[in-house]
């Protein structure tokens, strides 16, 4: 294996690439919206990494033969700030293979074939595809709307931008072909599948373009609802081939206040002030709404999603409930952050969590364990001590996970940290009465953290959380 380059992609890099290609999909450029996807935070455009890898390859080996074709697989997300290494893992007279990895774990693979370009570059389509008007907002299509779609996307990337950003690759492929690859990321991220998309694979041959038209023609050849996959033929700008993507399921929507009416008695939780850590979305949002429908006051915290928190609070208050919001970071000292509270919470629900899923090369990474422990153990302990100083009869909820027992692959550090949290809670219950911690190993529930491309079997959030909330609210006894 021969390492040829390393790079850390920043938000500024992302915004620049989005500006020149037109691919402003929020998964790549918007922290708040990206956290509602299975990525959890912004990830690097696959085509951005591809072009950087080609540019680095040509820079490291300027005497490479003419390029005939490319095949790329974008297997796993690369996050902003991660150190990406591009390395040649096989080199033959007919082509070579590269791997893009982070900490030894492969994220993308690239195959380069050498040889003469093809003669023709077209897609047979009747009638002629219509031009797709540029939009800074991605299309939000239903999966059924994607089948058979076709069109023509004018290049948003200018030749001078291609030559400036990827000079060696532009000299090797030509700036027009760089722009065509840029149009493919606009196609997947903004047009089809669009808003809820993942760019998975690219396979193209270099060819002569007799029309010299700076646009990319596309046609959806197959959609598979089982995997929500979308296969498309593309041609234009001296390239012809195919792209494969997936249409992600939209972000999980929690039940509305109107849908929860009658679930709890109007005064079932009256007289309580429940602190909901992480109440701006997911199970925290649902918990806040359930308690509010039962007459309890709720205080929801947010760490980065202030807009989401205000949305939840507005919905609760408009329905006659009582909800306030505050910013809180579980990784920082709790006493300082709660010093301003006028009323002491009687109950607290702890849904704080870092991103759960990250690809890694080995079964254990110390840094990941420390990241989980800082929230699931240290953060929970600090919060409890802070709140218990003002409310000795505090009732807490600690959400553990079935992962502690089931030990799913790739979740070693998460399972270890949750197990440590359970031990802490057991000792707290043995020594801190009348304060009490209710611990429950939650099954897989539909949340942003557990989102997947296809639908998977999950438990009902309402059926799971309602008895837990009633148990927590029953303390002190």
User: What domains sit in the chain, N to C, each tagged with a CATH number?
Assistant: 2-247 (3.10.129.10), 257-473 (3.40.50.720)
Cα distances (angstroms) measured from residue 430 to each of 395, 419, 423, 425, 427: 14, 17, 11, 9, 5
What six digits make up the tokens of 458?
Answer: 């999950």
Find the range with the poorest average confidence among 3-7, 86-90, 117-121: 117-121
Between 276 and 127, the higher pLDDT residue: 276
Q: What is the pLDDT of residues 290-321, one digit of tens each?
A: 999 999 999 999 998 789 999 999 999 999 99
pLDDT of residue 459: 85
pLDDT of residue 127: 64
Rounded-to-integer distance, Cα 172 and Cα 120, Å: 19
DSSP 132: P
308 close to 333: Cβ distance less than 8 angstroms: no
The answer on pLDDT for 330 being more than 70 is: yes
pLDDT of residue 409: 87
Rounded-to-integer distance, Cα 266 and Cα 296, Å: 9
Find the range with the poorest average confidence among 114-128, 226-240, 257-271: 114-128
Q: Three-class SS of residue 473?
A: helix
Place of tokens 């023509």: 152
187 close to 241: Cβ distance less than 8 angstroms: no
319 close to 258: Cβ distance less than 8 angstroms: yes
Which residues on neighbouring strands pair with residue 109, listed in sequence order?
Answer: 73, 99
- pLDDT tier at 361 (50, 70, 90 boundaries)? confident
Q: What is the pLDDT of residues 174-199, one digit of tens each?
A: 999 999 999 999 999 999 999 999 99
Mean pLDDT of all residues in 92-121: 92
Q: Three-class SS of residue 348?
A: strand
pLDDT of residue 122: 62
- pLDDT tier at 454 (50, 70, 90 boundaries)? low
Find the range with the poorest average confidence among 105-109, 191-195, 397-401, 458-462: 458-462
Q: Three-class SS of residue 15?
A: helix
The answer on pLDDT for 2 being more than 70 is: yes
Find the range with the poorest average confidence among 200-214, 320-334, 416-430: 200-214
**pTM over 0.95, yes/no:** no
Strands, sheet with 322-327, edge to edge from the N-terminal-most edge strand:
322-327, 297-302, 273-277, 347-350, 395-401, 436-442
What six digits make up the tokens of 88?
Answer: 């040649």
pLDDT of residue 212: 63
The answer on pLDDT for 450 being more than 80 is: no
475 close to 388: Cβ distance less than 8 angstroms: no
Rounded-to-integer distance, Cα 381 and Cα 375, Å: 9
Q: What is the mean pLDDT of the chain?
A: 94
- pLDDT tier at 84 (50, 70, 90 boundaries)? very high
pLDDT of residue 59: 98
- pLDDT tier at 383 (50, 70, 90 boundaries)? very high
């Amino acid at each position: 294996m021969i390492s040829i380059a390393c790079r850390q992609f920043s938000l500024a890099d992302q915004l620049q690439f989005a500006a020149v290609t037109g691919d402003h999909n929020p998964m790549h450029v918007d922290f708040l919206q990206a956290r509602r996807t299975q990525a959890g935070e912004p990830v690097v455009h696959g085509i951005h990494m591809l072009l950087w890898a080609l540019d680095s390859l040509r820079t490291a080996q300027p005497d490479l033969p003419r390029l005939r074709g490319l095949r790329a697989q974008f297997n796993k997300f690369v996050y902003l700030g991660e150190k990406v290494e591009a390395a040649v893992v096989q080199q033959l007279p007919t082509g070579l293979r590269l791997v893009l990895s982070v900490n030894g774990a492969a994220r993308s693979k690239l195959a380069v074939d050498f040889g003469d370009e093809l003669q023709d570059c077209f897609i047979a389509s009747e009638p002629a595809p219509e031009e797709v008007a540029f939009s800074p907002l991605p299309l939000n299509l239903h999966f059924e709307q994607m089948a058979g779609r076709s069109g023509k996307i004018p290049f948003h990337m200018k030749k001078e931008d291609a030559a400036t950003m990827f000079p060696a690759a532009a000299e090797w492929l030509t700036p027009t072909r760089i722009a065509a690859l840029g149009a493919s990321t606009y196609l997947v991220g903004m047009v089809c599948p669009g808003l809820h998309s993942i760019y998975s694979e690219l396979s193209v041959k270099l060819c002569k373009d007799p029309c010299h038209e700076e646009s990319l023609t596309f046609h959806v050849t197959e959609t598979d609802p089982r995997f929500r996959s979308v296969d498309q033929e593309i041609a234009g700008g001296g390239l012809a081939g195919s792209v494969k993507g997936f249409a992600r399921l939209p972000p999980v929507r929690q039940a509305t206040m109107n849908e929860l009416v009658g679930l709890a008695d109007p005064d079932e939780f009256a007289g309580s002030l429940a602190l909901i850590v992480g109440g701006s979305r997911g199970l925290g949002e649902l918990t806040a709404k359930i308690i509010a429908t039962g007459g309890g006051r709720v205080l929801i915290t947010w760490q980065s999603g202030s807009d989401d928190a205000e949305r939840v609070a507005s919905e609760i208050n408009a329905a006659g409930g009582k909800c306030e919001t505050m910013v809180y970071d579980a990784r920082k000292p709790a006493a300082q952050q709660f010093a301003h509270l006028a009323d002491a919470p009687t109950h607290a629900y702890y849904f704080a969590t870092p991103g759960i899923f990250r690809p890694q090369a080995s079964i254990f990474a110390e840094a990941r364990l420390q990241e989980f422990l800082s929230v699931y153990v240290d953060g929970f302990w600090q919060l409890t001590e802070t709140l218990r100083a003002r409310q000795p009869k505090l009732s807490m909820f600690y959400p553990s996970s079935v992962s502690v027992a089931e030990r799913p692959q790739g979740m070693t550090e998460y399972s270890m940290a949750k197990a440590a949290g359970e031990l802490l809670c057991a000792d707290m219950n043995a020594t801190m009465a009348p304060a009490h911690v209710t611990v429950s190993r939650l099954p897989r529930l539909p949340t942003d953290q557990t989102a997947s491309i296809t639908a998977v079997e999950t438990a009902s959030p309402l059926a799971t959380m309602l008895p837990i909330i009633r148990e927590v609210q029953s303390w002190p006894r």
